[in-house]
Every structure is written in C-alpha cells, then in structure tokens.
C-alpha cells in the first residue's frame, strides 16, 4: 500500500476520533465578567413577517464556583410562522450585521450538526447549540435560564464565546437575526457580589417547572433595578409608609391621634 493511502486512512481515523470527543466540563470561569448579546432593531432576513425585528438578548455570567456558565435568554416579537425557532452561538462575530459572516455553530470538538443534538446528553452536542441542549423557542415572549457546563468565559479556552455571536434561526435554519457578544462593565459590591450596568431580570421557578440534570428550569421574569436592593429602594416602591396606609398617600393627623389613644386605652 502506498504511503499516501496509509496517510489518508490514518487521517480519517484521527478525524473520527476527534468527532466523537465529548465536550469537557469547563471549570475556572472568571466571576468578574459578564457577556451580553442584544439583538439589533432590523432583521437580517428581509422577508421576515414581523414589525421591526425580534427583540431581546442573551446574557452570560459564570456559574457558582466558576463551573460552567449561567445563561439568561429573553426574546419576543417573533414572526407568526416559521417556528419553532432555534438559536445558537456561532464561531465568528457578525460583520456589519451580516449574519452569514458568523459562519457555523461553535463546535471546537468537531461534533457536527448530525445526528441531531440529544438534550439528555448535552456533552455530546455542539458547544454552541443552546436550543438543541435546552429547548427551542416555542413561545412569544420566550424566557429561559440555565447553567451550561460546556461553554467558557475564559479567552484561552476553545469553548470561549465572548468574541462570537448568537444567531436566531427559523425552523428551516434560515438566519432570522443575530448579535455579537460584548463584555459589560462590572461593579463590585462590598459584600463580594458583583453586578453589571444595564437591564437585568429576576427569575422564579415555575410551579410545574422541573430542573434537568444540567439545571434547566422553566421560569417567569420580572424587572428589578440595576442597583442592588440593599443599597437603595425603588422610587416606585409599593411598600406602605405605615400599616394600613396606601403607597404615596399621607396618613392624617386624626388617624395617628386615634391610634395613640387606642394604644393608651388598652395599656391601662
């Protein structure tokens, strides 16, 4: 057998081994950074049947202890047809809003797109296939939060995505819209926690939501101030200044005197 033939066989064998490699669990993610990709106002796909563009963002911070990444996903205003929609981290950033320039899914371990991702074994999926691992977009608005063990916030890791993009697809894989991840400024609190400037949401587990082995939960979302609540309170706080008093209403002098008299009477 010729040397070239032997080399080709060896190359094929090596490629097969690489393709079968599962994504390793990422540890040591830095706690002091956050990356966020916010969708633009205009859709990339000119034929999109919607007003404006899909709205929303994907934000990411290190999971507790630096093991994996915590993703918060918020999307709304989808086309009325063409779903269920998918979203993935792609290996390159979008150039001038061109979602084609993002190339393929982030796949540092050469898994490939086929067969389809098995959500029960996320380590066997492409690193960037977020909707494959944690669920396609089947509602509008769509909100999800989960811990992914296989992505990285460290630039020296092959699973790093801070300089890459998120792409939203139709069910037929047409690229609907995309956005690049950007690093947000982080402010430290004396307690040791950190928070970033910008829009954030608190989350709660749905009564029917069940966590998967990777920590995926069904959640609802409500807004809160970007400044931690222990530092200041919202100007629109609904907490009544006195028991029985409505927020923003004054308590009359007569009411206060009546209360004092009642207390003195019962103390006799």
Residue 172 and residue 251 share a domain: no
Q: Between 110 and 204, name the one with better pLDDT.
A: 110
Residue 155 and residue 56 share a domain: yes
Instruction: Find residue 58's DSSP bridge partners.
Output: 37, 73
CA angle 92, 70, 137 (to 5 degrees): 70
- Judge whether 255 lies within some domain: yes
Residues of the domain holding 179:
34-223
Residue 264 and residue 198 share a domain: no
The structure tokens 């807004």 sit at 223
Task: Decide if pLDDT at 190 tops 50.
Answer: no
Residue 127 and residue 254 share a domain: no
Model pLDDT for residues 134-182, shown as the tens digit of each residue: 999 999 999 999 999 999 999 999 999 999 999 999 999 999 999 999 9
Residue 159 and residue 56 share a domain: yes
Q: Is residue 155 within a helix (H) or strand (E), and if so which, with residue range?
A: none
b/e 123-138 (16+ beta carbons within 10 angstroms → b): bbbbbbbbbbbbbebe
One DSSP character per residue, 201-220 reads EEEEE-TT----TT--B-EE
Residue 268 and residue 214 share a domain: no
- Judge whether 208 lies within some domain: yes
Task: Decide if pLDDT at 87 tops 50.
Answer: yes
Give the count of domains, the chain.
2
In this prediction, residue 186 carries a pLDDT of 67
Both structure tokens of 171:
């069910």
In this prediction, residue 133 carries a pLDDT of 98
> Measuring CA to CA, how many Å separate 17 from each of 10, 21, 22, 109?
11, 7, 10, 10
Task: Decide if pLDDT at 267 tops 90.
Answer: no
Q: Between 28 and 258, name the one with better pLDDT.
A: 28
In this prediction, residue 80 carries a pLDDT of 92
In this prediction, residue 21 carries a pLDDT of 84
- Judge whether 2 lies within some domain: no
- Backbone CA torsion sign across 15, 20, 21, 25: positive
Model pLDDT for residues 219-243, shown as the tens digit of each residue: 433 322 222 332 222 222 222 232 3
Residue 125 and residue 200 share a domain: yes
In this prediction, residue 20 carries a pLDDT of 62
Residue 215 and residue 136 share a domain: yes
Task: Decide if pLDDT at 192 tops 60.
Answer: no
* Alpha carbons 123 and 103: distance in angstroms, whole number: 22
Long-range contacts of 48-53 (CB under 8 A, 24+ apart): 48/79, 48/176, 48/177, 49/79, 49/80, 49/81, 49/82, 50/77, 50/78, 50/79, 50/80, 51/77, 52/77, 53/77, 53/177
Cβ count within 10 A of residue 117? 20
Model pLDDT for residues 26-58, shown as the tens digit of each residue: 999 999 899 999 999 999 998 889 999 999 999
In this prediction, residue 23 carries a pLDDT of 95
């Amino acid at each position: 057998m010729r040397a070239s033939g032997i080399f080709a066989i060896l190359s094929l064998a090596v490629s097969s081994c690489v393709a079968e490699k599962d994504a390793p669990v990422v540890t040591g993610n830095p706690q002091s950074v956050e990356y966020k990709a916010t969708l633009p106002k205009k859709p990339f796909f000119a034929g999109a049947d919607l007003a404006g563009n899909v709205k929303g963002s994907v934000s990411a911070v290190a999971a507790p202890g630096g093991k994996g990444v915590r993703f918060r996903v918020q999307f709304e205003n989808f086309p009325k047809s063409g779903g269920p929609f998918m979203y993935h981290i792609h290996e390159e950033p979008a150039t001038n809003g061109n979602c084609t320039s993002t190339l393929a899914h982030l796949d540092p371990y050469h898994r490939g797109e086929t067969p389809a991702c098995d959500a029960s074994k996320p380590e066997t999926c492409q690193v960037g296939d977020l909707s494959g691992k944690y669920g396609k977009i089947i509602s509008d608005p769509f909100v999800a939060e989960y811990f992914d063990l296989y992505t990285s916030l460290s630039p020296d890791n092959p699973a790093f995505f801070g300089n890459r993009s998120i792409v939203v697809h139709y069910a037929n894989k047409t690229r609907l819209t995309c956005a690049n991840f950007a690093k947000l400024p982080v402010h430290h609190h004396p307690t040791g926690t950190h928070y970033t400037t910008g829009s954030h949401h608190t989350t709660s587990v749905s009564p029917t939501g069940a966590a998967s082995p990777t920590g995926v939960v069904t959640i609802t979302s409500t807004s809160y101030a970007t400044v931690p609540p222990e530092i200041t309170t919202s100007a629109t706080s609904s907490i009544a200044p006195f028991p029985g008093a409505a927020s923003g209403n004054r308590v009359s002098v007569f009411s206060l005197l009546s209360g004092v008299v009642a207390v003195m009477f019962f103390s006799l």
